[in-house]
């Protein structure tokens, strides 16, 4: 369940929930499902007059159609641009203007699709018509209204995030504005406008270039996933490929929404100063009108076995960085818990083996980190090691040191005390996420949508207790193997053809070193 943005360990035990508080918290969780299939989880916490809402839609970039990567991510950009009644200066006129964009776009595509026979002058003229139609529609929009209404009512943490496996929308409001959220969120799901789609499309391309192309670590991670996964959608950036994004259509977004934003594919978690009875009453009133629709198809593409190690060298300015990924199973596998604990044992703060050995003792790296799950846990994914060589040190030296460390880890019996400490650290990290209403709402939605039951959030701690040193060692031996390894690192431009540095001479045991 861990990803790149791993929560830091809780440093102050005073912030942790006690065992009794933890049990009481679980007892306060309730749930209900509307006849249309939309599932709600409610946890009453009346300590402060605030309610946090988290809407989880089980759709992410893995569901992007071929040639339409970035489509799921577009809903992060479109999230709060309003509805047919909120964010418009007159919906009938705006709708006609939006339809006019599509008609102009159809004409442009029809000519462009002629390929080598297309009249480029006519394509350029039709592209200008699309731009003018979009500008006309934008004059009829007031897309800032949706966010403004919520924020003027005290909303905080209003955010949207589309990732590899899900799309999430969150918001916290004063409890006396609870009904406002039900109104606004239901309208957003019932009557989306998809306004300013083409402007947001341009912004999505800019985001990719700033987040990936101009940022060394995300770029290397993107290259790692593209190399490690031959057919599975994990190989695509969650934001989509720029060439695909620039050709996305508003009509495609509408079709995607109708296919995946169905009630049965949505989970809403509500935590804070609200009663379960009031939440159910408001849910029935505002979300009840959503029509039940068939569930979307599952992702069926399976990654074939990797036949051997892969290495990718990227020419890129800047200091060297290496990512080493090992194929691992999904979060539903029995080895998920042991792999999470391996991350802690190897990489948790300054007590992790990676840091102690590569950074402090050997001075090979200035940063060494393990990430148990990347990019997402729903399907078989990668256990990734990040290595940043120290000045004067090389990627090759760090890579060899990592392999030697992993071989020792695989062959040496794990000290039960070290495992117990890792289990305690994982427990602290998980419980820390339950201290705020906002984070707890997200966790409840995540576990309900990912595992089919929010109770998995609480039983995970019991599952971790059952992991033995033998389980950890067996998982390490099962997955840290050369055939499942993909390595990506960067070199300065013009150096990709340079031979690797020679290996240092073997040290003989005994005698002066």
For the chain, percent of residues with pLDDT exceeding 90: 84
pLDDT-derived band at 512 (thresholds 50, 70, 90) equals: very low
pLDDT the model gives residue 3? 40
Higher per-residue pLDDT: 494 or 272: 272
Q: Give the mean model confidence (pLDDT) for residues 104-131.
A: 96
pLDDT the model gives residue 462? 86
- pLDDT tens digits, 427-486: 888 888 788 999 999 999 999 999 999 999 988 888 989 999 999 999 999 999 999 999
Which H, E and C letters describe 231-284, residue by residue? CCHHHCCCCCCHHHHCCCCHHHHHHHHHHHCCHHHEEEEEEECCCHHHHHHHHH
- Based on DSSP, count helices (H) and strands (E) in the chain, helices before strands: 18, 11
pLDDT the model gives residue 242? 96
Can you say whether residue 123 is alpha, beta or left, with left for phi > 0 and alpha for psi between -120 and 50 degrees? alpha
Report the run of H or E that residue 366 belongs to, with start and end: strand 365-374
pLDDT the model gives residue 5? 34
Strand order through the sheet with 29-33:
29-33, 39-44, 266-272, 50-57, 167-174, 156-162
- Residue 12 burial by Cβ neighbours in a 10 Å radius (0-12, 13-18, 19+): exposed
- pLDDT higher than 60, residue 503: no
- pLDDT tens digits, 207-222: 999 988 888 999 999 9
Higher per-residue pLDDT: 512 or 425: 425
Helix (H, G, I), strand (E, B) or coil at 310: strand
- pLDDT higher than 70, residue 283: yes
Q: Give the mean model confidence (pLDDT) for residues 334-354.
A: 90
Most confident of 52-56, 206-210, 348-352: 52-56
Cα distance between residue 68 and residue 52, in whole Å = 33
Structural domains for the chain:
25-88+141-286 (3.30.830.10), 310-491 (3.30.830.10)
Question: Both ends of the chain: CA-CA distance in Å?
Answer: 44
pLDDT the model gives residue 170? 98
pLDDT the model gives residue 1? 47
Helix (H, G, I), strand (E, B) or coil at 36: coil
- pLDDT higher than 70, residue 500: no
- pLDDT higher than 90, residue 496: no
Please provide residue 319's backbone torsions phi and psi, each rounded to the nearest 5 degrees: -65, 155
pLDDT-derived band at 249 (thresholds 50, 70, 90) equals: very high
- pLDDT higher than 70, residue 510: no
- pLDDT tens digits, 2-44: 443 323 322 222 345 666 677 788 889 999 999 999 999 999 9
Residue 165's closest CA among 85, 97, 286, 260? 260
Q: Give the mean model confidence (pLDDT) for residues 396-410.
A: 97
Contact partners, residue 392, CB within 8 Å, separation at least 6: none
- pLDDT tens digits, 195-208: 999 999 999 999 99
């Amino acid at each position: 369940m861990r990803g790149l943005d791993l929560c830091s360990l809780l440093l102050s035990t005073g912030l942790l929930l006690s065992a009794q508080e933890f049990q009481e918290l679980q007892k306060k969780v309730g749930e209900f499902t509307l006849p249309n299939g939309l599932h709600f989880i409610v946890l009453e916490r009346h300590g402060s007059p605030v309610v946090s809402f988290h809407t989880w839609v089980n759709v992410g970039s893995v569901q992007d159609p071929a040639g339409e990567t970035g489509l799921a991510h577009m809903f992060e950009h479109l999230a709060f641009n309003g509805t047919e009644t909120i964010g418009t200066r007159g919906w009938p006129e705006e709708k006609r203007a939006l339809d006019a964009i599509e008609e102009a776009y159809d004409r442009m595509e029809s000519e462009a699709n002629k390929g080598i026979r297309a009249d480029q002058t006519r394509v350029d003229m039709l592209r200008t018509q699309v731009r003018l139609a979009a500008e006309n529609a934008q004059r009829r929009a007031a897309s800032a209204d949706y966010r403004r209404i919520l924020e003027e009512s005290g909303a905080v943490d209003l955010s949207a995030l589309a990732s590899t496996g899900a799309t999430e929308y969150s918001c916290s409001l004063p409890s006396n504005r609870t009904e406002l959220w039900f109104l606004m969120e239901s309208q957003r799901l019932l009557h989306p406008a998809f306004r300013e789609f083409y402007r947001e499309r341009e912004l999505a391309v800019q985001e990719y270039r700033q987040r990936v192309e101009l940022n060394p670590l995300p770029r290397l991670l993107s290259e790692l996933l593209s190399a490690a996964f031959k057919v599975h959608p994990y190989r695509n950036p969650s934001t989509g490929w720029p060439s695909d994004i620039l050709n996305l259509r508003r009509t495609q977004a509408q079709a995607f929404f109708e296919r995946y934003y169905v009630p049965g594919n949505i989970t809403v978690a509500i935590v804070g100063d609200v009663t379960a009875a009031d939440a159910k009453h408001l849910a029935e009133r505002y979300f009840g009108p959503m029509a039940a629709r068939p569930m979307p198809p599952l992702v069926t593409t399976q990654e074939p076995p990797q036949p051997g190690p892969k290495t990718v060298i990227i020419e890129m300015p800047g200091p060297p960085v290496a990512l080493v990924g090992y194929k691992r199973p999904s979060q539903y596998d029995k080895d998920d818990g042991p792999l999470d604990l391996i991350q802690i044992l190897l990489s948790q703060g300054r007590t992790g083996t990676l840091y102690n050995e590569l950074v402090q003792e050997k001075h090979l790296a200035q940063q060494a980190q393990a990430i148990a799950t990347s990019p997402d846990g729903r399907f078989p994914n990668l256990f990734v090691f990040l290595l940043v060589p120290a000045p004067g040190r090389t990627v090759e030296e760090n890579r060899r040191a990592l392999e030697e460390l992993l071989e020792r880890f695989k062959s040496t019996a794990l000290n039960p005390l070290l495992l117990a400490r890792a289990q305690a650290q994982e427990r602290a990290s998980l419980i820390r996420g339950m201290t705020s209403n906002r984070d707890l709402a997200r966790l409840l939605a995540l576990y309900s949508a990912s595992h089919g039951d929010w109770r998995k959030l609480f039983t995970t701690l019991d599952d971790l207790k059952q992991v033995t040193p033998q389980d950890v060692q067996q998982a390490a031996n099962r997955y840290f193997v050369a055939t499942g390894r993909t390595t990506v690192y960067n070199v300065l431009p013009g150096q990709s053809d340079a031979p690797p540095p020679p290996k240092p001479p073997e040290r003989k045991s005994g005698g002066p070193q």
